[in-house]
C-alpha cells in the first residue's frame, strides 16, 4: 500500500512522501488564491471553493482566511454551511460536515495525529482519523475537534471547548474536555439568549 493510500486508513505513514507533497502543494496554491480574493469577488470565491473541496453544496460561505492542510481537498460539505474567520481544517483525511452547520471564528477541526513514541515522531510518522459533524450544528469561537470524532445533528458546542469524545445529537456541550451540559429542550423553543424570548410573529 502506498503512503498516499495510508493517509485514509488510520495507519502510520510518512507525510513527506514526494507524491503526497506534490498534490498538497497544488492544493495549497488554490487555497492561497482563495484567501487573496476581495470581499467583492463573491463569484470567484464560490468557483474556487467548488475546485478546492472534495464536495461542497449550495449556499456555503467561508470568510477568509481559511486554512486547510490540503486546501479542502478532503472536505465534504453539505448545503448552506457558514464558516467565520480563521477556520482551520486539518484535512489530511476526510472531514464531513452536514447542512446548515455554522463555525465560529478560530475553529479547528483536526484529523491528523502523531505517535506518542518519540522515536516514531522523530521520523515524522503520522496517522489520520476522519471527523464527522452532523447537520445544523453550531461550533462556537475557538472550538477544537480532535481526530476521529463524530458529532451528531443539532449539537451546540460552547466557545473554547475541546472535543475529545463523540457527541450525540441534540445536546449543548461545553468545556475542556468537552462534556454534555444538557439536551436541547422546551426552554430553547421559548428563549434564544438568557431572558430574551423568541418572537416568532416578527421573524
Catalytic residues: 114
Is 57 within 8 Å of 99 (Cβ atoms)?
yes
Which of these, 175, 121, 124, 183, lies nearest to 152 by C-alpha position?
183
As beta bridge partners, residue 14 has none
Which of these, 81, 82, 72, lies nearest to 31 by C-alpha position?
72
Is 140 within 8 Å of 160 (Cβ atoms)?
yes
**CA quadruple 36, 42, 44, 48: dihedral positive or negative?**
positive
Which of these, 75, 81, 70, lies nearest to 135 by C-alpha position?
81
Amino acid at each position: 500500500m502506498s503512503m498516499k493510500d495510508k493517509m485514509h486508513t488510520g495507519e502510520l505513514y510518512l507525510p513527506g512522501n514526494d507524491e503526497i507533497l506534490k498534490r498538497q502543494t497544488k492544493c495549497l496554491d488554490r487555497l492561497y488564491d482563495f484567501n487573496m480574493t476581495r470581499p467583492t469577488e463573491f463569484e470567484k470565491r464560490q468557483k474556487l471553493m467548488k475546485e478546492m473541496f472534495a464536495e461542497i453544496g449550495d449556499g456555503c460561505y467561508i470568510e477568509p482566511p481559511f486554512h486547510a492542510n490540503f486546501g479542502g481537498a478532503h472536505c465534504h460539505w453539505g448545503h448552506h454551511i457558514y464558516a467565520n474567520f480563521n477556520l482551520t481544517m486539518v484535512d489530511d483525511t476526510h472531514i464531513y460536515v452536514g447542512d446548515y452547520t455554522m463555525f465560529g471564528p478560530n475553529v479547528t477541526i483536526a484529523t491528523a495525529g502523531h505517535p506518542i513514541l518519540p522515536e516514531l515522531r522523530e521520523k515524522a510518522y503520522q496517522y489520520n482519523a476522519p471527523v464527522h459533524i452532523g447537520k445544523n450544528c453550531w461550533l462556537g469561537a475557538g472550538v477544537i475537534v480532535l481526530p476521529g470524532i463524530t458529532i451528531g445533528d443539532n449539537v451546540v458546542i460552547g466557545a473554547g471547548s475541546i472535543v475529545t469524545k463523540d457527541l450525540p445529537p441534540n445536546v449543548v456541550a461545553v468545556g475542556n474536555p468537552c462534556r454534555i451540559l444538557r439536551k436541547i429542550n422546551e426552554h430553547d423553543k421559548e428563549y434564544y439568549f438568557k431572558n430574551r424570548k423568541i418572537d416568532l410573529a416578527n421573524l
